[in-house]
Copies of this chain bind each other. A is one copy, B any other.
Amino acid sequence: MDVYQIELEAQSQIRSQLLIDTAVKNLGQTTRPQQQAEQQQQLDDCNIADLEADVAQQQLEDSESEEDDNEDEDIDAEEDEALPEVSFDANSDFNLHFFDTPEDSSTQGAYSEAGSLDSEPEEQQFDLEQQQLNSTAAAAAATVGIAQELQHCLSAIEADPLQLLQCDSYYGANNTATTAIVASATAAAAAGATGSVAVATAATAAHLSCTPLSNGGGALYAISSVHQFGPSGYHYGVTSCEGCKVSSACNYLSLQFNSNIYFSQGFFRRSIQKQIEYRCLRDGKCLVIRLNRNRCQYCRFKKCLSAGMSRDCKYLQHLI
């Protein structure tokens, strides 16, 4: 019980942090917010799209879709015919045919091969993005205020809270100033894990630089308060400082495969290298969080994909 509650609390904090950050950004900058807004919108759009589709049929799916979603949706898609844009339906049987095995005709859509795997997810993303763009455009047309951004943020968060987690807010945390508040809460609860774990608040202008945790697992790293730049917004799908973004955020944060959240390079690398097909023993909707990331490989890999992990992401972060 404790764990969950704690986690919940932590999550709530994180979310609040995100919101705060967004609000602050909006207040502070008009231009920057756009980026964030866009990103958020994308997130939101994705979420919204998912939600709508889900609402049409099953909202549960939506929730899944929010997180990591594509795969989950895929699964759902099978049963339902209403699934809109998402192409993932193939995996209805909850088998991830990341790579098409000849025999699996049903899953062909999903992943034909390791290589294809990369490409397909991207395609999906594109679709989502387009949708997002449309929705965002509409939203923009309607109103282009902070409110929207916030809403986007919220929806995004709601959609897939984990995705928003960033090194900073999530792992980050050595900042004395920022950490102070969060740290106390987190520290109280978490205390010892890393000791430095904390969530930076946007309010504190100090931004967190990223330094790897010596004993951290996988690609998990913590952020120490080195740089004093303010958070620059969303970069590569995560909220990070400009410095980190520019100066090899991927490196410092170990954002290999374009994700630093509960996804280790090892797992994703092995998955795509060996073209391993995972199977979910349950419904393919396992909640994948850091704590239980090793319980279901299928769902974990799905989450990785939904998070945008791709073997082709190298050097692409800059371009975003």
Tell me the dominant secondary structure on chain A's binding face: helix
**The 8 nearest A-B residue pairs measured at CB:** A11-B164, A169-B189, A168-B190, A7-B165, A1-B66, A172-B190, A144-B147, A192-B233
Residue with the highest number of chain B CB atoms closer than 10 Å, among A7, A31, A122: A7
Q: With A14-B9, A25-B181, A291-B165 in contact, is A158–B133 under 8 Å at CB?
A: yes
- The segment from A77-85, A96-104, A113-121 found at the interface with B is A113-121
Rounded to whole angstroms, the CA-CA distance of A218 and B289 in the bound complex is 30
* A163–B287 touching, CB < 8 Å: yes
User: Is the beta-carbon distance between A161 and B7 smaller than 8 angstroms?
Assistant: yes
Interface positions, chain A 42-57, Cβ under 8 Å from B, are 42-43, 46-47, 51, 55
- Which B residues are in CB contact (< 8 Å) with A311? 292, 295
Q: Is the CB of A6 within 8 A of B16?
A: no
Contact A12 B153 (CB under 8 A): yes
Looking at the complex, which one of B38, B43, B136, B314 makes contact with A5 (CB distance below 8 Å)?
Answer: B43
Given the interface pairs A32-B20, A150-B149, A312-B295, the reply to whether A169 lies near B188 with Cβ below 8 Å is yes
